[in-house]
Structures are given as C-alpha cells and as structure tokens.
Structure 1
Amino acid sequence: MRFTRFACWDWSGAAVERPPGLALAVAERDGPPRLIDRRWSREDALAWLRDVARSGEPVLVGLDLSPALPFADRGAYFPGWPDSPPDARALWRLVDDLSADDPHLSAAGVLRHPEIARHFRQHRSKGDRFGEGRGRLRATERAMPGLPSSCFNLVGAAQVGKSSLTGMRVLHRLDGAIPVWPIDPLPPTGPVIVEIYPRLAALAAQVAGGRKLRDPAALAQALARLGSPAPELPARLTDHASDALLTAAWLRATADRADLWAVRDAEIARTEGWTFGVPWR
C-alpha cells in the first residue's frame, strides 16, 4: 500500500454556498477515520484538493460523484450534436465554461444550453433525448449492484446529476494537479482521485441493503466489520457524515487490491471513468 491517507468527500450539487450535504472524512493508515467537521463550500473543497496536490503526499481521495456522463452506449455524450466533447476532460471544460456565471461552482448554466438540455430530465421537463426508463447509464453503473441513477437525471432524492456536474467544474479547475483515475493513469507516487459509491462500502460492511446509516452505534458496528475502530461520534449523525466516514475506512481496507486498479477498457476509462471498487466487466 503506497497511500498514507484516505480521504472521502460526500458531495452535493445544491446551488448554495455551503451545501449541508458536503462532508469530508479522513483515515490515516491506522486508527479511526475522523470527520473534518466544518461547513464546507465547493470552493473550500477545491482549495483543500489544491493543498493536497502541492503537498505531494500520497493521499487517495474519493469523490462521491460521477466524473463524466454516459458515452460508450451511443458513442457520444450528446449524440447528434457536432460540438459534443470527445472525452472527459473536454466535458469538464465545457461544463465549467457554460456555468462560469453561476455562483458557488454550481452548474445551472450548462443546462441552459438548448442542445445539452435535450438530454436531461429536469423538474417539470424531460429532454426529448433523455431516453426511456431511468435514462442512460455509464458502463460502470451498469456493473454496479442495485439500481444506480442516470447522471442525466436531475430529479428526486437519488439523483446524482447535479453533484456530478458541479464536481466536473471542480475537476476542471483543479487542472490536472491530481490525477483522476482511470481517466488518468495511476501514477507511481503522489495523490490520486477516484470516484466512490458509498453503497459499495456499506455492502462490504454488511449493512443490510447498503442502506444509509444515521445511528452512531450502527456505524461503529459497520466500521468494525471493515477492521476499523470507530471515532468518537455525536449523538446525532447525518447520512453525509456516515457515508464519508464509512467510505474512508473502506478505501483504506481495499486500496491495496491490485484487481481493482486494473483498467480493462482504455476508451471507457478516457471518456466515462470508472467507480473504484466496481469489478470491470
């Protein structure tokens, strides 16, 4: 194991300065994970990531968001549009450029683009290119347990689209200072960002159905099943905090598994990314 720390961000796409769903937990090589308890903004998160990049410390950073939209199923993010970006980094640039006037690194601007909006389900509207059912999925989402939501869906409690779009703005502004695996190759040293799916950590910790944990005693038991001691926990725990804590401990427990780092499809890696911990098909 080359990583010295394991950090997990539970992300939020809420268009406010300090979203209540934004949470950070950090686990050292040993000991309990700890919650970095503050009211974070996405600008704060970007500054924290830049600090990690400058330090050069081998930190494995998990972000609970999708770093790209579906591409492999139709050969494009936005099929039929000549200006559809060719890869994930070009997509990040497009999202950030179109949302440049939106405060707090929110991403409403990209949804005002008439061609792009055709692909998203929004409140009171569904684009004519959204598709049927749950909408388009990335290859990694089709390989996940359960029923993940499409990044093109922006409606409902389970939607991940808003978080993903705001996350793309942060990744673009990070400007390659930290490699984002597997869009970027795994470097031999230094920090790395991976996409995480907290439900994988919950399932690994034998949490029934991978459900959200809000009870401190239940979280302590789940951490113990991952071989981790529990930190001192408040009497009231948000699912954002518990997701970050549990997933930080899970990253520490799984980061040395070589099979999880094996990239099986370079084109999918370049255009869609992949969720760490999901076996490649």
Structure 2
Amino acid sequence: MTGAPKHFTRFAAIDWSGAKGSRHKGIALATCKAGDDAPALVEPPGSTWSRSEILAWVRQRADMPMLIGFDFSFAPPLVERGAYLPGEDTPSGAREFWAYVDADCTDADLGAASFLERRRGSHFYLGAADGAKARFMHFRRCEAHFNASGGGKPSTVYDAIGAAQVAKASFAGMRLLHHLGTTVPVWPFDPLPERGALVVEIYTAIAARAAGLRKGLSKLRDAAALDVALRALGSRPHAPLPRYDDHSTDAILAAAWLRAHVTRSDLWTPPALTSRIAHTEGWTFGIG
C-alpha cells in the first residue's frame, strides 16, 4: 500500500510505563471513533493497568480498523554506530532484537529494568557512577531528524535516569511488541495493512505542538486547557475526568491527534525513512 491507509475508523493512544512491578499508574489508554467526539479513557480491569493487560487489549482488537499509538521508542538506534549495543553480539533487525531483549528479561509484567541494569555503564546511563552522560547520547535517525527540524531535544533509549528518560518504558515496550508478534502489524517494520489494526510509535509532545501548546508547556492538568487543545484538533469537549494527570490527558490528546492526522500521506512516507531504517530503527509517526 502506498500513501495513507484509508480504512481506520477507530483510534487509540497509550501512555506507557516501564516502571518495576505489575500495576502501573503511569499507563493510560484513550480511544475515539471517526468523527469529532472527544476521546475517552478506557478503564483498566483492575485499579490500574498492567502491561500484560494492555497487550491482551491490543490482541483482542487485531481485526478492528483501529490505529493504535504507543508512546515509547520501538527500537534503539542502529544506523549511527552499526549495532544496537556495540560490542555485544546482538541481532541487526528490530523484531529479532525484541526477541533478544525478551529472552534476557525475567522482570514482572514485561518489565525490562534488569536488562538495563546489567548493562549500566557499558550501554546505559543510570547515574554519575557510569561516567559522562554525553557518552551515552546516541539517537535514531527519526530523533536526529526531529531535532534538526527544530522539534526539540530528543531523548535517547540509553539514558535510564531522570524524569525525561525513555529507556525503561521503551525496552519494556519492545518486550510487548515481541509478544504481540504478527497478530497486529507494526509500522514501519511491517507493510501498511488494508484492513484490521495497526500499531505505530507516537510522541505525545508532537500532538501537544499540533494542538498549539508551546514547548515546555505541553502538559495539561485541567479540564479547560484540555478542551482548548482538543478543539484545535477538531474534537468536541471531553467528558469530565475524576482527576487530571499527565498520563490521562496525554493519552486523550494523542488519540484525537491520531484521528486528525491519519490521512496525511506525508506522515506515512517521510522522505528520510529508508528501508534500512524501517527494518532496524523504525520511525515516530508524526515526524515528517
């Protein structure tokens, strides 16, 4: 398939977490249908979501015309240095690397903290004892492209400390993608489907920029601000939430953004996305 897929009528965005344990306050899932109704949060089976429950939720929707966005990096950079973990005998394709990560993790609920901790100082930065942080700042081509175009300073999956780190969530996400297998295709590693669901990588800050929020002020923590941002994406006001936290509002806004931008061919065929990048590193949907 070339251009933008045309069959999606449902949209989902998942704010993800790589935290240790089996239940995660940092996971939020929002969905919406085609049209202009505001996305709504999906209640977890228990008090909070587990990563395994999110995996099951996605699997159950494999045959639905649903575009599903996850907010984590689907693979580490490879093009920059020629390997995911230079010096370690790792596979050179993303799907094979997902399997490699999963086989080396015994963490609960698809967690991957142990994978990073066993490689701290050599591949991952977990604190000052690991040396200069600059030594770990390696990026995928989509992140470098985003930065060069003025999108902002990207995070690297090798940085595993601090509020902005994406390492733990991303490697836990790679385990989820491995267990998802071929049940649902994952863009751009797989061809665009003509029917059924599709998983893409998203970056909630891109949705925030599209909604008019300025850099550094992308978090929505009240009903009025969320409705203003939703309106900018062609959405009606949302149903009131029990509480307004970054995870919930990020998921709601990102689902509306996916719906608003799904037909943009330029986002599905970015000029810098080569076949090698698509096979090894992937790409964040929304980076043109």
Match of 1:20 in 2: 25
- Partner secondary structure for residue 13 of structure 2: strand
Q: Which amino acid aligns with 1:173?
A: H
Q: Which amino acid aligns with 1:184?
A: D
Preserved CA contact (<8 Å) 1:6 1:59: yes
Are 1:74 and 2:81 counterparts? yes
Preserved CA contact (<8 Å) 2:31 2:39: yes
Q: Which amino acid aligns with 1:10?
A: D
- Partner secondary structure for residue 143 of structure 1: helix
Match of 2:57 in 1: 48
Preserved CA contact (<8 Å) 1:27 1:33: yes
* CA distance in 1 between partners of 2:283 and 2:31 (Å): 22
How many residues in Structure 1 have an aligned counterpart in Structure 2? 272
2:281 pairs, out of 249, 267, 272, with 272
**Distance change (3 Å), C-alpha of 1:33 and 1:87:** same
* CA distance in 2 between partners of 1:63 and 1:157 (Å): 18
Shift of 1:125: 3.7
Q: TM-score, normalised by structure 2?
A: 0.90
Match of 1:6 in 2: 11
**Distance change (3 Å), C-alpha of 1:68 and 1:239:** same
Match of 1:217 in 2: 224
Preserved CA contact (<8 Å) 2:123 2:136: no
- Partner secondary structure for residue 178 of structure 2: helix
Instruction: Quote the RMSD (CA, aligned, Å).
Output: 1.7
Shift of 1:131: 6.8
For residues 117-136 of structure 1, the aligned pairs below 5 Å read 118-123=122-127, 125-126=129-130, 132=134, 135-136=137-138
Are 1:110 and 2:119 counterparts? no
* CA distance in 2 between partners of 1:97 and 1:117 (Å): 21
For residues 1-281 of structure 1, the aligned pairs below 5 Å read 1-30=6-35, 31-38=37-44, 39-53=48-62, 56-81=63-88, 83-99=89-105, 101-114=106-119, 118-123=122-127, 125-126=129-130, 132=134, 135-144=137-146, 145-209=151-215, 211-234=218-241, 236-262=243-269, 264-279=273-288
4+ aligned runs moved over 4 Å, structure 1: none
**Distance change (3 Å), C-alpha of 1:146 and 1:75:** same
Q: Which runs of 5+ in 2 are unaligned?
A: 1-5
Q: Which runs of 5+ in 1 are unaligned?
A: none
